[in-house]
């Protein structure tokens, strides 16, 4: 049995869960571009669906968030996998969990803004590029991607 088999896919619940969840988002998605702690959060967090993969003891190694843009469209944001855990399918587990939740909410499509280095990952999961998206911090280019999931 590998270390990956012991990872629990769950939503953050306790204050400690949230602390570890937001810390991973900041370390992976903001810190490398000298963004301050707190920049990994936004006003949609309280109303969004969050998932994380947690190892023992309480080490959060992958995270992702889903929020609803409309009655038919959900958006994935803040996908992050700890650098030392990459290449093991953890991002796929998070993404599949977020898509599953979107289906339970009767969403017809999921959209996201993928960093250039993540485009191939999302293409492998059935997303298609729709065009360019915002460039973060003046250097991190993104592509707008979409996957139809509903009838």
Q: Where do the structural domains in the chain lie, given as residue ranges?
A: 3-112
Q: Considering the chain, what percentage of its residues have pLDDT values greater than 90? A: 75
More confidently predicted of 142 and 103 = 103
Using alpha carbons, select from 2, 27, 22, 1 the residue that is nearest to residue 12. Answer: 22
Reported in sequence order, the residue ranges of the chain that DSSP labels E, i.e. its strands, are 8-10, 49-54, 60-68, 73-81, 109-115, 128-136, 140-148
Long-range Cβ pairs for the range 10-16 (8 Å, 24+): 10/51, 10/52, 10/54, 11/49, 11/50, 11/51, 11/52, 12/50, 12/52, 16/58
Using alpha carbons, select from 17, 87, 83 the residue that is nearest to residue 52. Answer: 17
pLDDT tens digit sequence for 138-151: 666 778 999 999 76
Mean pLDDT within 125-133: 89
- Considering the domain delimited by 3-112, tell me its CATH architecture: 3-Layer(aba) Sandwich (3.40)
């Amino acid at each position: 049995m590998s270390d990956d088999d012991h990872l629990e896919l769950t939503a953050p619940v306790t204050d400690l869960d949230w602390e570890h969840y937001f810390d991973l988002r900041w370390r992976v998605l903001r810190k490398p571009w000298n963004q301050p702690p707190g920049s990994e959060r936004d006003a949609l967090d309280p109303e969004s669906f969050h998932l994380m993969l947690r190892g023992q003891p309480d080490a959060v190694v992958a995270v992702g968030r889903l929020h609803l843009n409309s009655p038919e469209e959900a958006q994935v944001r803040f996908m992050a996998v700890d650098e030392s855990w990459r290449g093991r399918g953890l991002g796929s587990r998070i993404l599949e969990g977020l898509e599953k939740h979107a289906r339970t909410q009767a969403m017809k499509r999921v959209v996201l803004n993928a960093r250039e280095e993540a485009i191939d990952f999302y293409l492998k999961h059935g997303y298609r590029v729709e065009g360019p998206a915002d460039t973060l911090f003046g250097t991190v280019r993104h592509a707008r991607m979409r996957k139809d999931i509903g009838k």
